[in-house]
Amino acid sequence: MSALSASSTATTYLVYRHFYDPNTQQLMLGGIENYVLQLARLLQNEGQRCVVVQTANFDFSAMYQGIAVIGVYCGAYRGNRKKLALFQYIRSRFNDESDSIIFATDSYYVKNNFRRTIAIQHGVSWDKPASRNSFFGYIKSLLNHHKYLSYIRHCRNLVCVDHNFVNWYRSYQNFPAKTLVRVIMNFSAGVISPLQLQQKWLHPLATPTLLIARRFVDYRGIALAISVVQKLLQKYPALQVTFAGEGPLETEIKAAFSNQPQVTICRYRPEEALQIHLQHDLVLLPSIGSEGTSLSLAEAMAAGCAVVSTNVGGLSNMIIDQFNGLIGMPDADALVSQLDSYLQNPHRAKQLAFQGYATATSSLSLVRWQQEWLQYLLKLGVLHGVSGQTVFASPA
C-alpha cells in the first residue's frame, strides 16, 4: 500500500523544507525536524492521518515511524517557487471539509482560503551579526525586516515558540485583527529523574565538566565558545570540555585544541541528547544569533546542568538570570566570568541547576507542550475532541 492510499480519516499536511532524507531513510538532524516529528506523533495519537510534504531532488513517497512523507521534485526552483510547488501538491488533494495544513515554518506559508491552516514561527533568525554600518548594509537589513514581516501578513493562525518574535513584530506594527496568535514554548522530550539529579550533584563539581552541544556553525557562537574555553583552561587546566555536534567549523575546534587532551569532540543522535547532558555539570550556549526557545537549552535544564547562556532571541524567555541559570551578552570575557562563578562556588551552581531542572519539568516539558497544542488544535477545529490516546510523558 502506498504512503498516500485512500483514507476517510481527516488528514493534516505538515509542510517543511527538508524533514526526511530518502537516501539514508533517516530524519534530518535539527530542532525543527524534531518539532515536526513530535507534532505529527501528537496528531496521529488523536486519530489524524499525517502527511509531511517536503522539497526533494526527485519525487518520492515514504513512511517514517508511521508518518507519510512526500517528496516533491522542485528541480532548480528558488525562493517562493519551492513553497508554491508544495502547496500546489496539497491543494490538488485537499478536502476543506476535513483536512488541515500546518506550515512548519512561517517562511513556507502560502496565502490561502482554506478553513484550517496554521503557520509556526520558530524565532528571529535575521539577527545574525552582519555589517550594518554601511548604507547598503542598512538597506539590506530593512529589506530583510520587510520580508519577515510579510510572511504572516495573511496568516490567520500563528504559533510562535517565543515572545521575542511577538515583541519584535509589535515594534513595527500590530498583528492583523484576524490572526489568532499563540506562544507555545519549546520543550525537552526527556527529563532525568529526581534521584538522578540528586546523584549528579552529590559532590558538586568535584571533577568539573563543561558541555557545548551545538551545531558547529558561526551563528551558534562556535568561535566565541573556542575563545571562552581557551581562557577557562588557563585557570582550570583540569576542566574537562566536550564539544558535541557537527558542522563546518569542526576543523577550527580541532585546530584550537589539538594539544589539549582535556577537550574532546563527539557527535550524538537526537535520542542521546539527554544522556550526554547528564554526563556533564555545566553547559554553555554561546549563540550569537538565530535562536527561538532553544531545544538544546531545554535539554540541558532537563538533565540538571548549570547553564550559562547568551541573551540572544528566545533564550531570554527561558532563563531568569541568577534564578535558574546565568545569562548575558555574547562576550567572551563575560561568559568566562559567569562560568568562573560556578567553578568558584559549586553549591551555587548546584542551586541554579536544581532551579533549571524545576523550570524544565514544568514550563519546558513535553507534557505541557502537548497539552497547549491540543487546546489550540481543538479551538481551530483541527481536532473535534481529545481521544485520550496521547500518552503524556512524565519524568523518568
For 221-255, how does the pLDDT look when each residue is reduced to its tens digit (9 = 90+)?
A: 999 999 999 999 999 999 999 999 999 999 999 99
User: What is the pTM assigned to this prediction?
Assistant: 0.91
- Per-residue pLDDT at 145: 83
- Per-residue pLDDT at 271: 85
Question: 280 burial class (0-12, 13-18, 19+ CB within 10 angstroms)?
Answer: buried
Cβ neighbours, 10 Å, residue 149? 13
Interval 28-34 mean pLDDT: 85
Half-sphere exposure of 227 (CA within 13 A, CB side): 12
| Share above pLDDT 70 across residues of the chain, in percent, rounded to a whole number | 94
Interval 77-94 mean pLDDT: 95
- Per-residue pLDDT at 143: 84
| Sheet architecture: strand order including 282-285 | 263-266, 240-244, 209-213, 282-285, 306-310, 326-328
How are beta strands 60-64 and 67-73 bridged, if at all? Answer: antiparallel
Cβ–Cβ < 8 Å for 152, 111: no
pLDDT at residue 104 is higher than 70 = yes
- Per-residue pLDDT at 4: 45
Interval 158-164 mean pLDDT: 97
- Per-residue pLDDT at 390: 58
pLDDT at residue 23 is higher than 70 = yes
| Share above pLDDT 90 across residues of the chain, in percent, rounded to a whole number | 81
Lowest-pLDDT choice from 220-229, 281-290, 323-332, 382-391: 382-391
Interval 114-132 mean pLDDT: 88
- Per-residue pLDDT at 133: 67
pLDDT at residue 71 is higher than 70 = yes
Confidence band, pLDDT 50/70/90 cuts, at residue 270: confident
- Per-residue pLDDT at 3: 46
Tell me how far apart the alpha carbons of residues 178 and 157 are, in angstroms, rounded to a whole number: 8
- Per-residue pLDDT at 147: 85
How are beta strands 240-244 and 180-183 bridged, if at all? Answer: unpaired
Cβ–Cβ < 8 Å for 388, 40: no
Confidence band, pLDDT 50/70/90 cuts, at residue 18: very high
Interval 143-163 mean pLDDT: 90
Tell me the three cell numbers of residue 227: 575563545
- Per-residue pLDDT at 106: 95
Sketch out the chain's domains with CATH numbers.
11-187+365-380 (3.40.50.2000), 194-362 (3.40.50.2000)
Query: In the predicted model, what is the mean pLDDT of the chain?
Result: 92
Tell me how far apart the alpha carbons of residues 352 and 375 are, in angstroms, rounded to a whole number: 32
